[in-house]
C-alpha cells in the first residue's frame, strides 16, 4: 500500500507539471487582451478591472544585483583575511627567528667571553661627544619666546596643571625681559 501511494503521488505531480507547462504555452501563444491604460502593468486585467486568473503571474522582479555582487564581496573578504593572516604569520616568524638568532649569539658570546676572560682585552675607544656652538642672546630670546607661545597653546586639564603652566610662563617672561640671559 505504501508503494502505491508513492507512485500515485509521483503521477499526480507529473500531471500538475504538464498542466502548468500547457497553460504557460497557451498564455505565450495567445496573450489575453489587456484593458489597462498602463502597458507596463505586470498583471493582465479583465474587462472589469480585476486580475485575470487564467493569465500566468509575472515573474518577480529580478534580484540579480545582490546575487551577482555577493560572491565577489565574499571572495574579496576571504582573500583579504588570508592576506592579513599570512602577513602577521610572516612577521611573527621573522621575530621568532631574530630572537632565536640573538639567543644563539648570546650563548656563543658567553662561551667566547669565558675563554677570553683570561686574556686582557683593551678598552674600545668611545666616540667623542659632539659639542654644539653656544647660542647667541638673540637666538636664546627667540627660543624662549617660542617656548612661551607653545605654553600658551597648552590646554590644562585641571587647576594644578594650570598653576604649573602659569609658573613656567612667568619664568619664561622673566628670562625674555632680562638684560642678560643665563647660559644654556
Least confident of 50-54, 66-70, 131-135: 50-54
Which residue did the predictor score with more confidence, 36 or 163? 163
pLDDT tens-digit readout, 71-126: 888 899 999 999 999 988 888 888 888 887 777 776 666 655 555 555 555 567 78
Q: What is the pLDDT averaged over residues 46-57?
A: 61
pLDDT value, residue 41 = 47
Supply the pLDDT for residue 160.
95
Q: What share of the chain is helix, strand, coil (3-state, %, to 5)?
A: 65, 0, 35
Which stretches does DSSP call E strand in the chain?
none
pLDDT for the residue numbered 52: 60
**pLDDT tens across 126-174, in order?**
888 888 888 888 888 999 999 999 999 999 999 999 999 999 999 999 9
The more confidently predicted of residues 29 and 134 is 134
DSSP conformation letters of 29-76: HSPPP---S-TT-SS-B-TTSSBPTTSPPPPPPP-HHHHHHHHHHHHH
Amino acid at each position: 500500500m505504501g508503494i502505491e501511494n508513492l507512485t500515485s503521488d509521483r503521477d499526480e505531480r507529473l500531471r500538475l507539471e504538464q498542466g502548468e507547462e500547457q497553460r504557460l504555452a497557451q498564455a505565450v501563444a495567445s496573450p489575453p487582451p489587456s484593458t489597462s491604460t498602463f502597458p507596463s502593468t505586470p498583471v493582465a486585467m479583465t474587462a472589469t478591472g480585476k486580475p485575470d486568473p487564467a493569465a500566468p503571474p509575472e515573474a518577480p522582479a529580478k534580484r540579480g544585483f545582490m546575487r551577482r555582487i555577493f560572491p565577489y564581496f565574499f571572495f574579496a573578504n576571504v582573500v583579504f583575511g588570508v592576506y592579513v593572516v599570512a602577513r602577521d604569520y610572516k612577521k611573527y616568524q621573522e621575530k621568532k627567528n631574530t630572537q632565536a638568532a640573538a639567543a644563539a649569539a648570546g650563548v656563543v658570546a658567553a662561551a667566547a667571553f669565558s675563554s677570553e676572560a683570561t686574556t686582557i682585552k683593551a678598552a674600545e675607544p668611545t666616540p667623542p661627544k659632539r659639542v654644539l656652538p653656544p647660542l647667541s642672546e638673540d637666538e636664546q630670546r627667540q627660543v624662549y619666546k617660542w617656548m612661551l607661545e607653545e605654553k600658551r597653546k597648552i590646554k590644562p586639564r585641571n587647576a594644578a596643571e594650570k598653576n604649573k603652566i602659569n609658573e613656567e610662563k612667568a619664568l619664561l617672561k622673566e628670562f625674555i625681559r632680562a638684560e642678560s640671559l643665563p647660559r644654556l
